[in-house]
Structure 1
Amino acid sequence: MADKITSRSQDYSQWYIDLVRSAKLADYSDVRGCMVIRPNGYAIWEKMQAALDRMFKETGHVNAYFPLFIPESYIAREAEHIEGFAPECAVVTHGGGEELAEKLYVRPTSETIIWASYKKWIQSYRDLPILINQWANVVRWEMRTRLFLRTAEFLWQEGHTAHATRQEASEEVLRMIGIYKQFAEEYMAMPVIMGKKTDSEKFAGADETYCIEAMMQDGKALQAGTSHHLGQNFAKAFDCQFQTSEGKLDYVWATSWGVSTRLIGALIMAHSDDRGLVLPPKLATRQVVIIPILRGDKTAVIAEADSIALALNKYGIPAFVDASEQNSPGWKFAEYELQGIPIRIELGPRDIAEKKCIAARRDTLEKTDLALDNTLPLQVSEILRQIQQSLFDKALRFRTENTREATTFEAFKTAVEKGFVIAHWDGTAETETKIKEETKATIRVLPSEDDYISRYNMNEPGICIYSGKPSAQKVIFAKAY
């Protein structure tokens, strides 16, 4: 129930954990750093997975599966890659009661094991492109964990593609980060900023990393998806060459891209409130709960509730009836608000007599009378559309109100405690590191979206807020999860 949830204003971090556990989305496991994703949480992941899988396949990608275990010799082939992941790796040293001749790494990401296969599959330009996605689990030995946001094991998808030219790979990188942005905004109702990571923040082993960054309700940033241009780095590490159309030999160009169950954490922190979960209708497995007010002729009320549910489900709106009598209507109202059901329909004997029902929106808690006739599915569908759009608009408004520009480091230090800060940076890793050490803020993204660039004059030359040296552009700083 909602009374178990700490308020956001009192303790945002505790509010998040309370909500996740009270809404039965996930729980801690007895295995250190791991979580149990409960049915309510997994249902959200299934909705995300279905939408993303469809979007991937519409752009020509297919699914495959590669081993969980990666030989140590494979991991070691790409030096920058192993350096970036080594501290987080879990390693198997024994199997079948004996010490292994070669250690096996539990998959932290799959570039190396996949490129070992691509070397076997690619001989000619005719074998390209390869556009493969994998739905899998990965293990990264995180020291500090938080449900959904950072756990030792998590679920994700990872795309791995192979191309004949750098240009083709570049187009793939941008196509996929664009798909992530579309998914975040159209399904999660979560506005994101798309752009490039600095060299210090890019993926280990990549030439370039693009990302989408979202603002949570505490003003912190959350990286919601990444797409990496891997150049020819992994092809060279695995000697994966192909014969070009001109008859020459060249190394294959690569990309990788992924999102994870971290998106569930983002969804929670972008929209939810002190009453519990707030779900965008497009990601709600159950969009409508119908609660009969069981007074008078109970049988007639339940029959009408069942009829409404049937009509909504036939229309494609997932609806269900809670006619149980062990809990009061008030308890049910609070429970389904906690679970984030987008619409609650209340129905009693008087409502039936007046040929109407009451619809309560989860996002605003507003109540509306709806006519009990054949237009009801249309009325409910319109409210669901309004909720989806309203959640996006509210989140976008919040981000705009909590994005500030700073021209001095003193102003920057104050502003970055409250949200995103747009400021000039001299382009050096040294300055980037010093700002991070002094404020815990990092450069989240170098925006690539024209509207964002023009609104804040991102490409306007200026002076770095920290070093005082010339700066070619502004960047977005924030504290982050």
Structure 2
Amino acid sequence: MNFRVIFESKGLQVVTLLSPYLRRLQLLPPPLSLTIKEEEKVEMAGPSGKKEKVDKAGPSGGGGGKKKKDVKKETGLGLSVKKDENFGEWYSEVCKHEMIEYYDISGCYILRPWSMAIWEIMQTFFDAEIKKMKVKNCYFPLFVSPGVLEKEKDHIEGFAPEVAWVTKSGKSDLEVPIAIRPTSETVMYPYYSKWIRGHRDLPLKLNQWCNVVRWEFSNPTPFIRSREFLWQEGHTAFATKEEADKEVLEILELYRRIYEEYLAVPVVKGMKSENEKFAGGLYTTSVEAFIPNTGRGVQGATSHCLGQNFAKMFEINFENEKGETEMVWQNSWAYSTRTIGVMIMTHGDDKGLILPPKVASVQVVVIPVPYKDANTQGIFDACTATVAALSEAGIRAEEDLRDNYSPGWKYSNWEMKGVPLRIEIGPRDLENDQVRTVRRDNGVKEDIPRGSLVEHVKELLEKIQANMYEVAKQKREACVEEIKTWDEFIVALNKKKLILAPWCDEEEVERDVKARTKGETGAAKTLCSPFEQPELPEGTLCFASGKPAKKWTYWGRSY
């Protein structure tokens, strides 16, 4: 059954899963017209693997959420649930604390400044790196004509269920419905065929920072799976496959750096299976993360070699140096705001967010701790001077001088927001010309002379960043289980492990594994075949088929 979903904004009606053109191609059956109201709850996989209902309103109520037990009074924390007890509701509460706000259209979320700043920091890094590779930024329209979208059959089959269509302007039906981009290959490539004529026009390397719409029906989840999200998408064309292959891996390494160097999240670089590769592409590489609490993998970012398939469909040809006509070789690559969700899931705890220093918009918060009859103004002045010194050194610091909250409340509030380092200044600190530092990642406290504060804070932030990565890596590695047989596979899957298994690399076998493991918590599938392959002893058999194994592959359930 397909659904017709309508929402209106300024005279436009946007309709999902509704295109007479797709139906003519027999990609969709006739529609059932149904207006879907905003969901009151969000579903996502909890620690048990089962889908759990999560109140849309989050911990603060408002918007129809259930009244929650005030655990804060009992524990001193700002969350009503623990990460290990109800992961789905924990994640919803943490996201809602200044990271996102729920919108009145299900599956769409407002990115608040606290999360947008993280995106901007990653954007600054990645944009500078791709410009070193001579990639230029551009912008293409949001809308796609049906004829162009449907030109590449395999590609549109992969995205058809998620394509949203504009069918009306005001009260008038559009003569030809217009699609909203789920990705931009079909938007951009007609113009590549216009701009590329000879070998001197190559390589053509373009990137755009934009939004896309994919009308998800299964469990919209903030950052991880939303109906509209921000991303970058690079689209490049080369004269040779060797050039394209080289760029695929260069971009994938940048994605690894975003996750590991900025977000402190360990990932595996590898190749996607034929079943899991990009629709219409030649092959897909990815960085894969893993969430120990749920036992699920997350496709972190992808770098695709499209081969010459799109070049053939869109007639992107060039004249080589010999005067012969050839088709270009193409790549596309992207990462999105999903990165933020992976970071939250990986590092957050029962107090809330824990932000890696490299992406935290506030790396240090300075809090005055005045006592009765203390020199309050002197303490406030010391806080302001401390922030000024740190800011001058390039450290993102703020003071919290609000006098309507106690220091203890401020501690909990900034811990909930995940600020990497807290500095406390009280009467004794003022007297001893020192400050107290408190790390968010492990709670370690230290008294530091103000004279050496800047150098010490810089060192602490580096230690916090490194420690967060190492802790996350150890947790991830503790979940990896190497298996050889089907029985071992099922046991590991039920234990929510990241499974490394010998595989015959056959599509039918992977489909069979999905079918045999399909259940309430979702089916198992390949995540990626790692580039760094363990030794595969001669005679090793595929765990699922008993045929000779060709490679080691990571398997598991995923978001």
Same fold (TM over 0.5): yes
Task: Name the structure 2 match of 1:307.
Answer: 385
Question: Please, what TM-score do these two structures have when normalized by structure 1?
Answer: 0.96
Number of residue equivalences? 474
Q: Percentage identity across aligned positions?
A: 40
Residue 464 (structure 2) pairs with residue 464 (structure 1): no
The Cα offsets for residues 298-357 of structure 1, whole Å up to 9 and x where unpaired, read as 110011111110000000001111011111101000000000100000100111111211
Task: Name the structure 2 match of 1:143.
Answer: 217
Match of 1:414 among 491, 511, 534: 491
Cα distance between partner residues in 2 of 1:395 and 1:115: 40
CA contact (8 A) 1:116 1:238 kept: yes
User: Taking structure 1 as reference, are residues 325 and 458 closer, same or farther at Cα in structure 2, changes over 3 Å only?
Assistant: farther
Match of 1:435 among 503, 513, 519: 513
Cα distance between partner residues in 1 of 2:435 and 2:421: 12
Cα distance between partner residues in 2 of 1:301 and 1:46: 34
Cα distance between partner residues in 2 of 1:418 and 1:238: 44
Match of 2:301 among 225, 229, 242: 225
Match of 2:531 among 429, 448, 461: 448
Task: Name the structure 2 match of 1:99.
Answer: 173
Match of 1:333 among 408, 411, 434: 411
Alignment-mate amino acid for residue 7 of structure 1: K
Residue 113 (structure 2) pairs with residue 39 (structure 1): yes
Alignment-mate amino acid for residue 275 of structure 2: S
Cα distance between partner residues in 1 of 2:252 and 2:538: 25
User: Taking structure 1 as reference, are residues 3 and 207 closer, same or farther at Cα in structure 2, changes over 3 Å only?
Assistant: same
After TM superposition, the structure 1 = structure 2 runs for residues 240-251 of structure 1, keeping only pairs within 5 Å, are 240-251=316-327
After TM superposition, the structure 1 = structure 2 runs for residues 17-416 of structure 1, keeping only pairs within 5 Å, are 17-21=92-96, 23-95=97-169, 97-144=171-218, 145-218=220-293, 219-295=295-371, 296-373=374-451, 375-416=452-493
User: Taking structure 1 as reference, are residues 16 and 385 closer, same or farther at Cα in structure 2, changes over 3 Å only?
Assistant: same
Per mean C-alpha deviation after superposition, the further-off stretch among 245-254 and 32-41 is 32-41
Secondary structure of 1:281's match? coil
Cα distance between partner residues in 1 of 2:383 and 2:545: 66
Cα distance between partner residues in 2 of 1:93 and 1:232: 33
Alignment-mate amino acid for residue 303 of structure 1: D
CA contact (8 A) 1:442 1:477 kept: yes
Cα distance between partner residues in 2 of 1:211 and 1:276: 29
Cα distance between partner residues in 1 of 2:514 and 2:91: 25
Per mean C-alpha deviation after superposition, the further-off stretch among 276-285 and 100-109 is 100-109
CA contact (8 A) 1:459 1:473 kept: no
Cα distance between partner residues in 1 of 2:292 and 2:89: 14
Alignment-mate amino acid for residue 466 of structure 1: A
Alignment-mate amino acid for residue 72 of structure 1: P
User: Taking structure 1 as reference, are residues 420 and 321 closer, same or farther at Cα in structure 2, changes over 3 Å only?
Assistant: same
Secondary structure of 1:3's match? coil
The Cα offsets for residues 268-321 of structure 1, whole Å up to 9 and x where unpaired, read as 011111110011100001100000112311110011111110000000001111
Alignment-mate amino acid for residue 424 of structure 2: E
Cα distance between partner residues in 1 of 2:515 and 2:87: 23
Alignment-mate amino acid for residue 306 of structure 2: L
The Cα offsets for residues 148-206 of structure 1, whole Å up to 9 and x where unpaired, read as 11011111110000111111111111111111112211111111100100000001110
Shift of 1:437: 2.5
Secondary structure of 2:139's match? coil
Shift of 1:58: 2.0
Cα distance between partner residues in 1 of 2:511 and 2:366: 54
Per mean C-alpha deviation after superposition, the further-off stretch among 182-191 and 66-75 is 182-191
Shift of 1:459: 7.6
User: Taking structure 1 as reference, are residues 86 and 388 closer, same or farther at Cα in structure 2, changes over 3 Å only?
Assistant: same
Question: Please, what TM-score do these two structures have when normalized by structure 2?
Answer: 0.83
Compute the RMSD of aligned alpha carbons.
Answer: 1.3
Cα distance between partner residues in 1 of 2:164 and 2:464: 43
CA contact (8 A) 2:292 2:479 kept: no
**Structure 2: gaps (5+ residues):** 1-71, 518-522
CA contact (8 A) 1:444 1:477 kept: yes
Cα distance between partner residues in 2 of 1:415 and 1:389: 30
Secondary structure of 1:471's match? coil
The Cα offsets for residues 88-107 of structure 1, whole Å up to 9 and x where unpaired, read as 10011223643333221100
Alignment-mate amino acid for residue 526 of structure 2: I
Cα distance between partner residues in 1 of 2:304 and 2:397: 40
The Cα offsets for residues 236-260 of structure 1, whole Å up to 9 and x where unpaired, read as 1111111011210011111000000
Alignment-mate amino acid for residue 398 of structure 2: F
Per mean C-alpha deviation after superposition, the further-off stretch among 43-52 and 125-134 is 43-52
User: Taking structure 1 as reference, are residues 222 and 459 closer, same or farther at Cα in structure 2, changes over 3 Å only?
Assistant: farther
User: Taking structure 1 as reference, are residues 332 and 136 closer, same or farther at Cα in structure 2, changes over 3 Å only?
Assistant: same
The Cα offsets for residues 402-424 of structure 1, whole Å up to 9 and x where unpaired, read as 10111121111121232211111
